Amino acid sequence: MSFLHKDWSAFTFVDLGCGKGRALIAASQHGFARVIGVEFAKSLVDIAIKNGKIAGVRVEVRNEDAAQFEFPEGDIVVFMFNPFRETVMRQVLCNLARHQGKLYLLYYRPEQSAVVDERTDFLAKIGQIPTAPGFCVWQGVARARESCSERC
């Protein structure tokens, strides 16, 4: 997170495919206004909630399909650790294209990066994080997002 040199206190961190909650716990230490995990597998949701309690951090973990998830209003950072294949990724990007506010997309081990790179209508690739190989970052392009929902 230090790579972007931002004050995260007005941002919500969203981890799509949060698994057991490791990234949620890490994000909670960076001063985000909210930390939300989205996980399809109920058993992993239960573990992520338990791990948040053990770590003593406040996180929200939702048992939802990422393809149906409605992103919260305001400024967001979306994190993904290669959670799904192309079909779901395309739907997630369509949902994300409708989001208003500042947006950063952090994608670790981005096997679907070509799908993300296609969405130049609302995302601009910043590059890779120098201290974390395999970690790609995109930034939302606000004025282009107004017309991008036509592609979905």
Per residue in 12-35, pLDDT (tens digit) is 999 999 999 999 999 999 999 999
Strands 123-128 vs 60-63: parallel, antiparallel or unpaired: unpaired
Give the separation between CA 5 and CA 103, rounded to whole angstroms.
14
Q: Poorest-confidence range of 4-13, 59-68, 103-112?
A: 4-13
pTM of the complete model beyond 0.85: yes
Cα distances from 60 to residues 39, 64, 89, 111, in angstroms, run 11, 12, 22, 27
Residue 83 pLDDT class (50, 70, 90 cuts) = confident
50-63 tens-digit pLDDT: 999 999 999 999 99
Would you tell me how many other CB atoms lie within 10 Å of the CB of residue 109?
14
The larger pLDDT score, comparing residue 145 to residue 89, is at 89
Structure tokens at 81: 């650790």
pLDDT at residue 120 in the model: 87
